[in-house]
Amino acid sequence: MAEMPRVLILSGGISHERDISLKSGRKVADGLLSHGVSVELRDPDGSLIEYLGESSPEVIWPVLHGASGEDGALRALLEMLNIPYVGSTADASRIAWNKPVAKSLAERAGVASPPSITLSRDAFRELGAESVLETVTTSLGIPLIVKPAQGGSAQGVSWVDSSEDLRKAMVHAFTYSDIALIEKRIVGVEVCVPIIDTGDGPRAIPAVEIEPLSGHYDFEARYTAGATRFYTPPRLEQATLDSLSALALDAFTALGLRDLARVDFIVDNEGKPWFLEASTMPGLTETSSTALALDAAGYDVGGVYGALVEAALARP
């Protein structure tokens, strides 16, 4: 085996998902260490750029969720500094980070996404909440799901079952972001499809079905071990599973992603998959579906992480 590189893992940061990022970072470090890779964990702060100049890490893995980690900002700086890193480019991250933009691009590529509307806080102030929400519910119906336009881990997300709950859901989303996505809630089976590309082209990892015991895959269901049941393979027709893999790859390509991503779908009762979002740095904690999918598909997780590092290094 060639001499393994030294990897600087960035995790933490000051986004709302700091806690998850710290956990993901430690799991990635464990995986790489088990593969014989030398790692260093660092919380990005005001000293980071100076540190990068002094220490010259061979490759960086920004295991950062949420703002600055997934919005492309940090990755753009790494590109300026000519430091190889694991994960999608700054441009692609910026696109995928914005859920409404990602939905539009996926739809253009033929990947259906639930009908939705994106509204800023200012739009409500200007046009009046009552009339706007009435228009939204008339058009999209109930149930709905309301999300901050940017963000992960289901933070700020509400499942709306009545028009009375919608105002509260808007307030919840707007405490995380000034733009909210109101989406028609498709009732069906929630599925995620991790995609990895270790240099030989993107490939879809067999999908995982997610069944939160509470009915909603919210923060608690995501990060409380045992609060969600996972099915590998999902309890779906083989044709649907094949379709999911293909659609996930289509979305991955349409968004210009690379290395590693997780594409989330909901499959309706007729078996039609609907694209929800794509994460350019999916959670890699002990309860995260991506790590579970890799494991269930028979991959050596540390080996995959090591291959991703090597692919980043080999990039021209």
Among residues 15, 8, 28, the alpha carbon closest in space to that of 283 is found at 28
8 A C-beta contact, residue 234 and residue 209: yes
Least distance in angstroms from the C-beta of 70 to another protein: 15
Q: Which of 61, 85, 217, 223 binds another protein (CB under 8 A)?
A: 223
Burial (CB < 10 A; 0-12, 13-18, 19+), residue 272, is middle
Contact call for residue 287 and another protein (CB under 8 A): yes
Stretch near another protein under the rule CB under 8 A, chosen from 11-19, 106-114, 237-245, 274-282: 11-19
Tokens of 93: 């991250």
Residue among 140 and 159 whose Cβ is closer to another protein: 159
Residue in this structure with the two tokens 């594409």, named with its chain if needed: 263
Q: Which of 112, 286, 303, 313 binds another protein (CB under 8 A)?
A: 286
75 binds another protein (CB under 8 A): no
- Identify whether the C-beta of residue 191 lies closer than 8 Å to the C-beta of residue 179: no
- Distance between terminal CA atoms of the chain? 21
CB 285 within 8 A of CB 291: yes
Rounded distance between C-alpha atoms, residue 181 and residue 136, angstroms: 11
By CB under 8 A, residue 156 contacts another protein = yes
By CB under 8 A, tell whether 268 contacts another protein. Answer: no
Cα separation, 288 vs 86, in Å, equals: 19
47 sits near another protein (criterion: CB under 8 A): no
Q: Which stretch binds another protein (CB under 8 A): 54-62, 121-129, 190-198, 267-275?
A: 121-129
Which of 38, 135, 162, 224 lies at the binding interface for another protein (CB under 8 A)? 224
Nearer to another protein, 109 or 219 (CB): 219
Of positions 6, 26, 167, 272, contacts another protein by CB under 8 A: 167
Maximum pairwise Cα distance, the chain: 65
- Nearest-angstrom CA–CA distance, 206 and 236: 12
284 vs 25, 65, 148, 162, 260, CA distance in Å?
A: 8, 10, 22, 34, 11
| Tokens matching residue 92 | 């692609």
Determine phi and psi for 158, rounding to 5 degrees.
-130, 145
Answer for which of 295, 302, 303, 313 binds another protein (CB under 8 A) is 295
CB of 32 to another protein, least distance (A): 21
Please identify which residue in 93, 98, 198, 228 interacts with another protein, judged by CB under 8 A.
Answer: 228
* Site stretch for another protein (CB under 8 A), options 55-63, 118-126, 181-189, 247-255: 118-126
Which residue of 55, 162, 175, 253 would you call a contact of another protein, by CB under 8 A? Answer: 175
Residue 217 binds another protein, judged by CB under 8 A: no
Q: Does 171 bind another protein (CB under 8 A)?
A: yes
Query: C-alpha angle 90/95/81, rounded to 5°?
Result: 5
Binding stretches for another protein (CB under 8 A): 12, 14-20, 22, 43, 45, 121, 124-125, 129, 153-156, 167-168, 170-172, 174-176, 209, 211, 218-220, 222-232, 286-287, 292, 295-296
